[in-house]
Amino acid sequence: MLSLFVLSLTLSVPLILAALGGLTSERSGVINIGLEGKMLVAACITGLVGMASGNAFVGFLCGSGAAVAMSLLHYLVTQAFRVDHIISGMGLNALAVGLTSVLHKRLTNPDFTDRIPGFPVQVYWVIAGAAVVGIAWYLNRTKGGLRLSAVGNDPDKARQMGVQPTLVRFYALVATGLFCGLAGSLIVTNAGSFTENMTAGKGYIALAALILGGWRPLPALLACILFGFFEALQIQLQGQAILGVDLPSWVWQSLPYFVTIVALAGFLGKNQAPAGLGRP
Amino acid sequence: MKKTPIWGMWLFTVGAFAFVVAILVLVKAVPLETFSGMVTGALGTPGGWRGTLREMTPLLILGAAVFLALKAGLFNIGADGQYTVGALAGVATALAVPGPLGMVLALGAGCLAGALWALPAGLIKAYKGGHEVITTIMMNNIARFLTVALVAGPLRNPAQESATTKILAKESQLPILIQDGPFRLNIALFLGLGIVIGVGIWLRTTVSGYELMATGANKRAAEASGVSVAQTLVKAMTASGLLAGLAGAVHVLAYENRFYADFSPGFGFDALGVALLAASNPFLLIPAALLFGAISQGTSAISILGVPKGLSGVLLGLTILVFAVFRYRKETPHA
Amino acid sequence: MSQETPAVQMTDIVQKFGSFTALDHVSLAVQKGGIHALVGENGAGKTTLMKVLYGALKQTSGHVELSGRPIQFRNQAEAIQNGIGMVSQHYAIIPELTCLQNLMLGAEPGWAIPVKKAEERAYDLASKMGFSFDWNSPAAGLSPAGAQKLEILKLLWRKASIMILDEPTAMLSPSDSDALYDSLKSLAEGGATIIVVTHRLPEVMESCQNVTVLRGGKLIDSRPVSDVTTAELANLIVGRSLEIPTKEGFLGSNPWLQVKGLTVKGDRGNEAVRNASFTLCKGEVVGIAGVDGNGQRELFQALSGNRKPQGGQIVLAGKDVTKEGQAQRIQAGVRQIPEDRHAEGVIEEWSLAENASLGLQRHPTLRKGSFIDRKARLDFASKIAERFRTKHSGFQKPMKSLSGGNQQRFVAARALAIDPKLVLAFQPTRGLDIDGTQQVYNALRATARSGGAALVVSFDLDELLEHCDRVMVICHGVLSEVPENQTRDRAAIGRLMVGAEL
């Protein structure tokens, strides 16, 4: 039972970090289906640089830098060129899948058989926990947090009150990049080596958790842990009956997505999306 | 707000191109050789053409599916999942009912599965305001898990190592029209072309097509013109799913002839790129699908040169971004 | 009158937009510590003048002084730093944020917000004004009056000493309006300078010290309220009674549109139209006079089937259509010339030909079964372009290639083209010259006479009096008929429009 608990937490930490990345972006009004791509790039670069340098910190720094760069590309396209947020997110994800595949295939050192150097996973746990509390505080208790919510809900009115929406979104997307960087480097550290498309939809699950949590940090955290728990159950039980119900594993795997759809359909209370999502 | 300067867009385009070249240099490929290799590999030989047209076929139908939804103002990111369930439904039906009748039923089953997979997204969008992009992404993942489970379980061919279905009998497959050495042309391509042209004509000549496009162009004006916007959204999403499901069924009946785990290589996402490139003209789906098919086939061809196939992802992603910068900017809100 | 330096002194302000002169050498002096009313009809230049004052517009010429100090603000932020703030008609309140967050936004007390201290200050400000707020509840729950109060507190939070309120009572009920003015009076007594832009004369007479009248971008008069009567003020606002051509009055006898007890809710949940009952006879063109925002929009939406009424009945040509949707009403012959043609009247990216059938796409003459009859549509497009001489460069060109006036000609012609039984025209001559206006009304009249009726909303009373068979007045959602003996009495109708007693 304890191992199930630990496994749930282990599986949920990357989700929490990615969900926080989604939170800063979406609370500023930028729809972010590009989380997946940003995490993937971070995982790949962390792996490649970590391998080449043998230094966990350098690897992490470069991986996060790459995720921030992706996020800034997102900023450029959505804010300077005012491209539709969904199209740009799709483009980023396609780019990330292709780019990491090319880099991984050609630049991976075949003689390197060790695990990629990384921080102990506990470091990420602490960061994730602290970040959730920190962001919850930031949103409610600081000038920056207030302005972030204002821009995310109504950029025009925020502008009337003397807030610059593009500046707020710039910082928000840098934060998104950093969180995706953390998530990506954790994923590759956990696995020990990079494999193609290794984020395997975690970015979308994180997005689902964010929606389920009503775009608020603490509920999003709980949703991530719940999703982590579903996954852990599925791994540990492998088709055994739970409470006398024998659910096939695909149902367990799909549960996070299914719950999110039910939430979107309005069966779990009012839709609390930031009102300014996707607005220029 | 200021208008985006046009030179900025060109600078972005040049930057994107420079990025591709830089990546090629980084992975020690010669850019010029890579590009010419891609063109020859995709369009220079009969075998290349065969591959390009094969890749193009699902993109045509899926492109039409995404285009149709886009014209109603909906992003059907779920085309990939609808395609996957359509393919599986097609295989399962064709395996159960042999012969040409089974083939026809399989196409119908693909349509039905795709339509049902899209329906929740349409309903939630129209009546609850839940964003179709999120619901369809979720449906994509459920589709993946469901189909993997089915092909690993009840539909699995026990004679095979990996999770895959039995191969369809010859009579159940869509026929090959032309076979000439390495060149081969399946009837599916013409089916795809027919669907694109059909969707294009329907949108442009019928009253219901007109109302669908009015909904996508300006919801308030459509409502004021007596169009039921909610119903139109549901119908458009369902029709889009129907076509995507059909694309899956056609693909298995014509080319793959079986279903296996993680069936879609991301056709549904490429199709979004195809539809975006076609912009406002449905008939431009044909060259756009050809381009994406050629990129896909071309990158396969140059993998011999040591350039990984992932290059196609880089090219597709950047093509979408560059094109979006020119074409899909949001209007500045009226003061 | 006291001779102290005015708090606000605007001198010879000229504001031009292209060739159009919105303000023509207007001067304004506002004394400290009082409520100054700025009155005039729509388009008189009131809001423009205020925008110049707080820096949202840069005047073409003229200058502004605050307490004798010349100033030129580049934006609103600068204005507020100098103690001038404006509450516009469209509140800058974000409903998802709490009241306290809205209060602070843009003027937060420090990087990390000292919540306790901020709350205390908010309570203080509110209690000084006699307001009470649940500061930590979302602003979405605020009533229109509550939102208005919050906007005023936002200015106080920023320590504004000069406050401009644009139509502060437009959304408020009479009792809320009274309460608002009570608090404004106490603010003024405390030394604040308040400028109120308004249409409503009773509140001017009751609560303001001075009044300035603008008309057509020109300063008409400025004097203490004690020196003027409501009737005089109404005459100053609408100008000397013009010679109204005595038209041959059209007397309909055959009831065509009958509306009984219609009540319609607005977007904010207020009763935008209250218990409206009226009848249009066959052949009539009837105008609805009134100041913008008094329920005209909601009335039209209810008549076109775009907004469900709370109660009442709509009967068109003897048939109860209250329950019918938009499509069925279009089929029954209801046509619209919408107010906001960008949003509702046209699809700007589409061609003229495609726009020609918008709203009429299911009419039998424009289709063959399920298919669009392209030839008929093209003929139709050329017919309606011809009618009011829309200038265009081809029917395949996008609608956005047309100027606003030409788009309006096109939209008006489309509404009048096929089987119109009831035409709902909202400001149908917006952007048209005299010639175009004449043509549109002639066409409206011809359409009505040939077996229908037309209802026209305009904010220009002269236009309605000149062109309509009769005029009704809407004020605060209440629709009233003009008494028999005053149907052509411009001043009397003007008084009804601003809620004054006859």
Per-residue pLDDT of A111-129, as tens digits, reads 887 888 888 888 999 999 9
Secondary structure class of A194 (helix, strand, coil): coil
What's the whole-number mean pLDDT along residues B100-104?
A: 92
Strand bridging mode C84-87 / C162-166: parallel
Confidence of residue C385 (pLDDT cuts 50, 70, 90): very high
Confidence of residue B199 (pLDDT cuts 50, 70, 90): very high
Q: Does the beta-carbon distance from C97 to A157 stay under 8 Å?
A: no
Of residues C425 and C90, which shows the higher confidence score? C425
- CATH 3.40.50.300 in chain C is located at 8-93+142-238, 254-333+420-502
- b/e per residue, C386-406, with b = 16+ CB within 10 A? ebbebebeebeeebeebeebb
Question: Of the segments A199-213, B155-169, B192-206, C460-474, which one has the largest average pLDDT value?
Answer: B192-206
Secondary structure class of A276 (helix, strand, coil): coil
Confidence of residue C150 (pLDDT cuts 50, 70, 90): very high
Q: What is the pLDDT of residues C267-302, one digit of tens each?
A: 777 888 999 999 999 999 999 998 877 889 999 999
Confidence of residue C3 (pLDDT cuts 50, 70, 90): low
Query: Are the C-beta atoms of residues C474 and C296 closer than 8 Å to each other?
Result: yes
Q: Report the pLDDT value the prediction gives residue C65, as an integer from 0 to 100.
A: 92
Confidence of residue C243 (pLDDT cuts 50, 70, 90): very low
Q: Report the pLDDT value the prediction gives residue A240, as an integer from 0 to 100.
A: 65
Question: How many domains would you assign to chain B?
Answer: 1
- B319 inside domain: no
CA distances from A26 to A85, A150, B72 (A): 11, 12, 25
Q: Report the pLDDT value the prediction gives residue A268, as an integer from 0 to 100.
A: 58
CA distances from C289 to A194, C232, C465, C485, C495 (A): 72, 20, 9, 17, 11
Query: Are the C-beta atoms of residues C123 and C135 closer than 8 Å to each other?
Result: yes
Confidence of residue C202 (pLDDT cuts 50, 70, 90): confident
Positive/negative CA dihedral, C49, C53, C57, C60: positive
Give the residue from chain B lying closest to C362, CA to CA: B207
- B28 inside domain: no
Confidence of residue B190 (pLDDT cuts 50, 70, 90): very high
Distance, in Å, from the CA atom of C178 to the CA atom of C180, rounded to the nearest integer, reads 5
Secondary structure class of C68 (helix, strand, coil): coil
What's the whole-number mean pLDDT along residues A62-84?
A: 94
Of residues B11 and C240, which shows the higher confidence score? B11
- B159 inside domain: yes
Domain ranges, ordered by start, for chain A: 12-220
Q: Does the beta-carbon distance from B208 to C370 stay under 8 Å?
A: yes
Closest among C121, C56, C54 to C82, alpha carbons compared:
C54
Say yes or no: ipTM exceeds 0.85: yes
When CB atoms are compared, the residue of B205, B214, B221 closest to C343 is B221
Closest among C126, C148, C153, C179 to C270, alpha carbons compared:
C148
Distance, in Å, from the CA atom of B320 to the CA atom of B324, rounded to the nearest integer, reads 6
Of residues C89 and C336, which shows the higher confidence score? C336
Query: Are the C-beta atoms of residues B240 and B69 closer than 8 Å to each other?
Result: yes
Q: How far A18 CA sits from the closest chain C CA (Å)?
A: 25
Q: Report the pLDDT value the prediction gives residue A232, as an integer from 0 to 100.
A: 85
Q: What is the pLDDT of residues C214-235, one digit of tens each?
A: 988 899 999 999 999 888 888 8
When CB atoms are compared, the residue of C304, C327, C346 closest to B221 is C346
Q: How far C237 CA sits from the closest chain A CA (Å)?
A: 31
Q: Does the beta-carbon distance from C358 to B220 stay under 8 Å?
A: no
Q: Is B321 part of the contact surface with chain A (CB cutoff 8 Å)?
A: yes
Closest among C252, C274, C255, C254 to C315, alpha carbons compared:
C255
What the block records as the tokens of C427 is: 């400001």
Confidence of residue A246 (pLDDT cuts 50, 70, 90): low
- b/e per residue, A122-133, with b = 16+ CB within 10 A? eebbebbeebbe
Q: Read out DSSP for C343-381? A: III--TTSBHHHHHTTTTTTSGGGEETTEE-HHHHHHHH
CATH of domain C8-93+142-238: 3.40.50.300
- B131 inside domain: yes
Q: What is the pLDDT of residues B4-34, one digit of tens each?
A: 678 888 999 999 999 999 998 888 888 888 8
Q: Does the beta-carbon distance from B308 to A105 stay under 8 Å?
A: yes
Other C-beta atoms closer than 10 Å to the C-beta of B266 total 17
Residue C83's H or E segment, with its range, is none
Of residues C485 and C184, which shows the higher confidence score? C184
Q: How far C372 CA sits from the closest chain B CA (Å)?
A: 5
Q: Report the pLDDT value the prediction gives residue C285, as an integer from 0 to 100.
A: 93
When CB atoms are compared, the residue of B207, B220, B228 closest to C370 is B207
Distance, in Å, from the CA atom of A51 to the CA atom of A112, rounded to the nearest integer, reads 7
What's the whole-number mean pLDDT along residues C95-102?
A: 92
Domain that holds residue B126: 55-297
Q: Is B272 part of the contact surface with chain A (CB cutoff 8 Å)?
A: yes
Of residues A51 and A233, which shows the higher confidence score? A51
CA B102 to chain centroid: 25
Distance, in Å, from the CA atom of C98 to the CA atom of C451, rounded to the nearest integer, reads 55
Q: What is the pLDDT of residues A194-206, one digit of tens each?
A: 998 898 889 988 9
Confidence of residue A270 (pLDDT cuts 50, 70, 90): low
When CB atoms are compared, the residue of B211, B224, B228 closest to C361 is B211
Residue type (1 letter), C250: F
Q: What are the start-end ranges of the H helices in C141-246?
A: 144-157, 174-189, 201-207, 230-238
Q: Which residue has the tokens 């006079």?
A: C289
Query: Are the C-beta atoms of residues A99 and B22 closer than 8 Å to each other?
Result: no
When CB atoms are compared, the residue of C344, C371, C372 closest to B220 is C344
What's the whole-number mean pLDDT along residues B54-59?
A: 94
Given a cut of 50, whether residue A97 has pLDDT beyond it is: yes
- B18 inside domain: no
Confidence of residue B1 (pLDDT cuts 50, 70, 90): very low
Half-sphere exposure of C306 (CA within 13 A, CB side): 24
Q: Does the beta-carbon distance from B328 to A83 stay under 8 Å?
A: yes
Q: How far C104 CA sits from the closest chain A CA (Å)?
A: 9
Distance, in Å, from the CA atom of A159 to the CA atom of B332, rounded to the nearest integer, reads 14
Secondary structure class of B218 (helix, strand, coil): coil
Q: What is the pLDDT of residues B264-314, one digit of tens each?
A: 888 888 898 899 888 889 999 999 999 999 999 999 888 877 788 889 899
Question: What letter would DSSP give residue B45?
Answer: S
- B306 inside domain: no
Class of domain C254-333+420-502: alpha beta
Distance, in Å, from the CA atom of C275 to the CA atom of A62, rounded to the nearest integer, reads 69
Half-sphere exposure of C380 (CA within 13 A, CB side): 26
Total-model pTM: 0.85
Q: Does the beta-carbon distance from A141 to C77 stay under 8 Å?
A: no
Q: Report the pLDDT value the prediction gives residue C352, as an integer from 0 to 100.
A: 94
Give residues 100 to 159 of C whose Cβ lies within 8 Å of A.
101, 104-108, 110-113, 115
Q: Report the pLDDT value the prediction gives residue C293, as an integer from 0 to 100.
A: 79
CA distances from B102 to A3, A46, B71, B98, B117 (A): 50, 51, 33, 5, 22
Distance, in Å, from the CA atom of B193 to the CA atom of B199, rounded to the nearest integer, reads 10
Question: What letter would DSSP give residue C145?
Answer: H
Distance, in Å, from the CA atom of B275 to the CA atom of B67, rounded to the nearest integer, reads 5
Residue B181's H or E segment, with its range, is none
- B333 inside domain: no
- For B72-126, the three-class secondary structure string (H helix, E strand, C coil) is CCCCCCCHHHHHHHHHHHHHHHHHHCCHHHHHHHHHHHHHHHHHHHHHHHHHHHH
Given a cut of 60, whether residue A12 has pLDDT beyond it is: yes
CA distances from C168 to A193, C88, C151, C224 (A): 65, 8, 10, 21
Distance, in Å, from the CA atom of B257 to the CA atom of C447, rounded to the nearest integer, reads 65
